[in-house]
Structure 1
Amino acid sequence: MMHLEQAYWPAVRDTELVETTVGALLRDRAAAHGEHVALVGVRHDTGATERLTYAELFDEASRVAAALSALTPAGGLVALWAPNVIEWPIIQYGAALAGMVLVALNPVLRDEELEYALSHSRAALLLHAEASRDYPMGEVARRVCARLPQLRRISLSESTTWRAAAAEPVSVPGDPDAVAMLQYTSGTTGKPKGVALTHRALVNVARLTMEALQVPPAAVALNPLPMFHTAGCVIATLGPLWVGGTVVLAEKFVPQVVLDQLRSEAAEVLFYVPTILAALLEQQRGSAEPAPRLRIIMGGASEVSPTLIDGAAEVFGAEVFNLYGQTELAPVLTLTRPEDSRDDRLNTVGRPLPHVDCKIIDPDTQEVLPVGAEGEICARGYQQFVEYLHDPQATARALDRDGFVRTGDLGRMDERGFVTVTGRLKELIIRGGENIAPVAVEGALSKVDPEIDVVVLGLPDEKFGEIVAAVLCAGGGVDQAAKDRFLSHARDRLAAHTVPARWFAARDLPVTPTGKVQRFVLRDAILRNEIPEL
């Protein structure tokens, strides 16, 4: 094993990257495993569960590609706004076969958020669901798109429009360096940024993750993660595709339903974020039914407690692996592995994947730190994002002087290359795996009352890891009625998971000499019960 003197892991190149695209990989798997079940999921219109073989999945995706090619020029951007229905991966593959860029959108976006993403991406086409849980997505899409005349809108219910009657021969795009997907991710300031990712990045990160964790050929894998996230549409979709396996797509996360699916489908692999895994563990422990027996549980997205890892391993009989990364890295940077010790699996996020350099730097000087010192985690390799769409300044800021992606996360690297995440430089709130920018929430709330300042921050939470909290500040004090006005405004204009769950009242705010609010000081004061809760 490598022995480092500085916190710098040089890329290991003991395997070659594959030179292929998402569409070409599906084509090849369909040719090799045509009769094997590739995908199990719920149809948007009927709510019926369907099972598609690799041959059927390739046929469906080819029909989508044919329709999209008639609707949008090659290289165009196709936005997909839907929950975890079976159409999601079908359209993902169809867009790849048509040589188009898929714009993955969160199904809980409110009007202004959806309009921003569609306008900013300059998507030519929006494919949308009619509903997600109780959210009327169709109504929102029609309302928003009425203000965007350049954009064509098609409901998933209009399947004869976005899916051709028959598959046509397609010339599968073969450039692995072409952009395959645009992911919108919350930054620390301003609006969400469009992260452009290539076919090479998506395919190889999924493949190398599966190989590092020794996922067996033809494995049955259950995905309860949202498809609009890279964890859901890359690792949990293209990963099983690489091994010729089966993806069981959970339409929505209901712990008992997912446990039943794990049993009925004889799943071997489960993808998770801590909130999901904790809920499954709690549900199973309160159940008289035998626990599903799994082989591999893989995930991350925020701090994973040793208790959760040990509990899941004991109850489900699986090896539990911790993955770390971010959207800009497509998304996995490091992970624990089967050969790692129990201590490493419980207390680190493992070593980097092949073909990526990783280092820990002083955030101010950008100098590489000694082994064991805390600094900013940075990475460089084939998998890093191409750009933040239409934002060269933000793209430049995201890289250090050597071209490494600055993750904004704090961590340490030991002499073997194992990384431990210790905190965040960024002010992002990570609630149940969802990145939330405090500044964006503050922007929506700042219009409520000009006499009241509002500061949004994250607070620790046992269920979600973190929750959104808001501090209202006015010299004369803040009452319950003011909180109610802010809360009502937030519910009308913000996605539900970004609405502050706890509200506090302060008479003054801690600021730096330049006038910037010190969120960490506020957070610590709240945790010491020094600021009253409304």
Structure 2
Amino acid sequence: MQESLWHKDESVPLVDHTVGSLLAARAGEHADAPALVGNAYRDGSQRRLTYGELYAEARQVARALLRLAEPGEFVALWAQNIVEWPIIQYGAALAGVYLVALNPVLRKNDLSYALNHSESVVLVHADRSREYDMASVVASVRDECPKLRHVISLSDWDSWLDSGDEHEPLSDCDTDSPVMLQYTSGTTGKPKGVLLRHRSLVNVAKLTMDTAEVQPGAVTVNPLPMFHTAACVIGTLGPLWLGGCEILIERFEPSAVLDVLRTERADVLFYVPTVLGSLIETAKKTGEPAPRLTTVMGGAAKVPRPMIEAAETLFGASVHNLFGQTELAPVLTMTRRGDTRDDQVNTVGRPLPQVDCKIIDPATGQIQPLGVRGEICARGYQQLVEYLHDPDATARTVDAEGWVHTGDLGSMDERGMITLGGRIKDLIIRGGENIAPAEIEACLLNHEAVAEVSVIAVPDDKWGETVGAIVRLRDRPRPGLRDELDAVCRARLAAYKIPQHWLFADELPTTPTGKVQKFKLVDAVMRGALTQLP
């Protein structure tokens, strides 16, 4: 292996299931086994459903939906992490409609855009999430959405379930049929609608669980936002594949989640680094024995060495770092049990089975030699159907040979291990030199004072762009810290890569899945809204 090309591992088979047929199979095999635990929308009470109960209620949802929509139409779901969310997800799959997963914090303009862009004919919504009056927002946008025929409040859950015809036949779609529309997180601006198929979601969930060696019947805790693929695919369909139980967390509060991990005797925790970091800090402060887990898996940002070591020590778990994107449903690579600590910290592991992967020169399209950074491309079962109503964007992302161009930079070694190098669009071009922010961020995370860091391009009259580093500190800034960080960089990086701008922020703006929104940081720097490091 001399070039950065990974040929798919075909030793692990794909499965031929839709989301609905997999649920039906598990209900037939494990009717009385626990399947789902979560808070009901109406009164916040906890509901615990077996596979038999979950399948029965999902079929009620399917038949209620089929009174309002035809198979192949779009149905939007706008709600927080409540137990009804995965039930509706399963019901939509059984009905053959395409679920549009919406962020519960969307404001009026964004909600209107998503409903119109997707041409949703039904909206199922919560009336309120925390202090947010979602019902009023729905009322204000309804007249702006000409395709929207029906609006269903989750306050009417019981009566809506009873509205379906129990004799209505359910859709018999195939595994290549679309099942879900996901809007990209928006780290660069306007979201695109990513259409995903049954086959992709089921097999990504299966292969992620199998690669992590999670055992059948595992109890999994899912605190991630359900409108994102990490939660509704890995966090929901993952335990479904295993015949396990999903514990859905409505609101993330570290002490409460630690209690859930203990009382439910959980095996698996899904995380983004901010979630995992908060749980570790809280567990250390309480003085109580930390819950024991077998597996901790997640991603969205680089996981520092101390966090991985603390998770393994406190929870006794194997930590798996996942990499992917919505367009890949959403996992491409992951670290395995037995990987070295350096591989856990510095790489995102090897590709999942049944997927080809390569690193190319973004300018020429040629495959890069091993160890040379380029654009990560993938081809396999998990890739998107299309960007809805955007054939040009689809053609730019999926080439004529079926390769998905991720827009992420990385390099590959002889084992197929991928080391990330940031986003192509994040590249800083200083006087003609290309600088990858991820390299500088990885360097700065080695300093004990740095909790998080984001490196951005700052416009400059002389150089075109210069390097700016925005850090979130573990403690208050102290005199001389800027010089310390500068010295860390100078010891490891070429001179042209050293940040010229050093600023700190109490929080870095992120998407709900933990990805830093660099365009917001650039705007804050240009407005002078951030404070210089001393």
- Normalised by the length of structure 2, the TM-score is 0.80
CA separation in 2, counterparts of 1:201 and 1:500?
32
Q: How does 1:10-409 map to 2 (within 5 A)?
A: 10-151=7-148, 152-160=150-158, 162-164=160-162, 168=166, 170-186=169-185, 191-400=190-399, 402-409=401-408
Q: How far apart are residue 248 of structure 1 and its match?
A: 0.2
Inter-CA distance 415–142: structure 2 relative to 1 (3 Å threshold) = same
Q: How far apart are residue 74 of structure 1 and its match?
A: 1.4
Gaps (5+ residues) in structure 2? 428-436, 439-455, 457-467, 475-508, 510-515
SS of match in other structure, 1:45: coil
CA separation in 2, counterparts of 1:176 and 1:458?
45
Inter-CA distance 458–98: structure 2 relative to 1 (3 Å threshold) = farther
Inter-CA distance 26–275: structure 2 relative to 1 (3 Å threshold) = same
Which letter does structure 1 place at the counterpart of 2:221?
L
Which letter does structure 2 place at the counterpart of 1:10?
H
Contact 2:65–2:164, Cα closer than 8 Å, also in 1: no
CA separation in 2, counterparts of 1:144 and 1:506?
34
CA separation in 2, counterparts of 1:294 and 1:407?
33
CA separation in 1, counterparts of 2:520 and 2:421?
25
Which letter does structure 2 place at the counterpart of 1:164?
D
CA offsets 1:481-532 (integer angstroms, 9 cap, x no match): xxxxxxxxx9xxxxxx97958975659xxxxxxxxxxxxxx99xx89869xx
SS of match in other structure, 1:323: strand
Gaps (5+ residues) in structure 1? 431-437, 439-456, 464-489, 491-496, 508-521
CA separation in 2, counterparts of 1:219 and 1:332?
20
Inter-CA distance 95–459: structure 2 relative to 1 (3 Å threshold) = farther
Which residue of structure 2 aligns with residue 433 of structure 1?
A: none
CA separation in 2, counterparts of 1:405 and 1:501?
28
Which letter does structure 1 place at the counterpart of 2:58?
A
SS of match in other structure, 1:396: helix
Inter-CA distance 218–367: structure 2 relative to 1 (3 Å threshold) = same
SS of match in other structure, 1:18: coil
Q: How far apart are residue 462 of structure 1 and its match?
A: 5.7
Q: How far apart are residue 341 of structure 1 and its match?
A: 2.5
Contact 1:81–1:128, Cα closer than 8 Å, also in 2: yes
Inter-CA distance 161–389: structure 2 relative to 1 (3 Å threshold) = farther
Inter-CA distance 504–160: structure 2 relative to 1 (3 Å threshold) = closer
Q: How far apart are residue 148 of structure 1 and its match?
A: 2.0
Contact 2:69–2:122, Cα closer than 8 Å, also in 1: yes
Which residue of structure 2 aligns with residue 493 of structure 1?
A: none
SS of match in other structure, 2:128: coil
Q: How far apart are residue 322 of structure 1 and its match?
A: 0.6
SS of match in other structure, 2:275: helix
1:9 equivalenced with 2:6 (yes/no): yes
CA offsets 1:151-206 (integer angstroms, 9 cap, x no match): 12111111145423678364452400000100000456552100000000000000
Inter-CA distance 501–132: structure 2 relative to 1 (3 Å threshold) = farther
CA separation in 1, counterparts of 2:326 and 2:366?
24
CA separation in 1, counterparts of 2:199 and 2:355?
13
CA separation in 2, counterparts of 1:332 and 1:371?
22
Which letter does structure 2 place at the counterpart of 1:271?
F
SS of match in other structure, 2:292: coil
Contact 2:223–2:252, Cα closer than 8 Å, also in 1: yes
CA separation in 1, counterparts of 2:171 and 2:265?
33
Q: Is the deviation greater in 87-96 or in 11-20?
A: 11-20
CA separation in 2, counterparts of 1:461 and 1:115?
34
Contact 1:355–1:381, Cα closer than 8 Å, also in 2: yes
Inter-CA distance 38–458: structure 2 relative to 1 (3 Å threshold) = farther
Contact 1:41–1:49, Cα closer than 8 Å, also in 2: yes
Contact 2:63–2:165, Cα closer than 8 Å, also in 1: yes
Q: How far apart are residue 306 of structure 1 and its match?
A: 1.4
CA separation in 1, counterparts of 2:471 and 2:398?
29
SS of match in other structure, 1:354: coil
CA separation in 2, counterparts of 1:143 and 1:189?
27
CA offsets 1:78-133 (integer angstroms, 9 cap, x no match): 10000000000000000000011000000110000010000000000000011112
CA separation in 2, counterparts of 1:401 and 1:26?
35
Which letter does structure 2 place at the counterpart of 1:370?
P
Q: How far apart are residue 397 of structure 1 and its match?
A: 1.1
Contact 2:66–2:164, Cα closer than 8 Å, also in 1: no
Which letter does structure 1 place at the counterpart of 2:153?
S
CA offsets 1:361-400 (integer angstroms, 9 cap, x no match): 1111111100001111111111100100000001111134
Inter-CA distance 462–322: structure 2 relative to 1 (3 Å threshold) = farther
SS of match in other structure, 1:209: helix
- Normalised by the length of structure 1, the TM-score is 0.80
Contact 1:372–1:414, Cα closer than 8 Å, also in 2: yes
Q: Is the deviation greater in 224-233 or in 139-148?
A: 139-148
Runs of 4+ residues over 3 Å off in structure 1 = 169-172, 186-190, 427-430, 457-463, 497-507, 526-530
Which letter does structure 1 place at the counterpart of 2:145?
L
Inter-CA distance 400–188: structure 2 relative to 1 (3 Å threshold) = farther
Inter-CA distance 105–244: structure 2 relative to 1 (3 Å threshold) = same
Which letter does structure 2 place at the counterpart of 1:403?
G
Contact 2:204–2:234, Cα closer than 8 Å, also in 1: yes
CA offsets 1:21-48 (integer angstroms, 9 cap, x no match): 0000000000000000100000001100
CA separation in 2, counterparts of 1:222 and 1:245?
11
CA separation in 1, counterparts of 2:127 and 2:273?
29
CA separation in 2, counterparts of 1:156 and 1:224?
21
Which residue of structure 1 aligns with residue 482 of structure 2?
A: none
SS of match in other structure, 1:168: coil
Inter-CA distance 167–35: structure 2 relative to 1 (3 Å threshold) = farther
SS of match in other structure, 2:220: strand
CA separation in 2, counterparts of 1:302 and 1:385?
22
- Total equivalences in the alignment: 455
Q: How far apart are residue 147 of structure 1 and its match?
A: 2.3
What RMSD in Å do the two structures reach over aligned CA positions?
2.7
Inter-CA distance 425–217: structure 2 relative to 1 (3 Å threshold) = same
Contact 1:21–1:173, Cα closer than 8 Å, also in 2: no
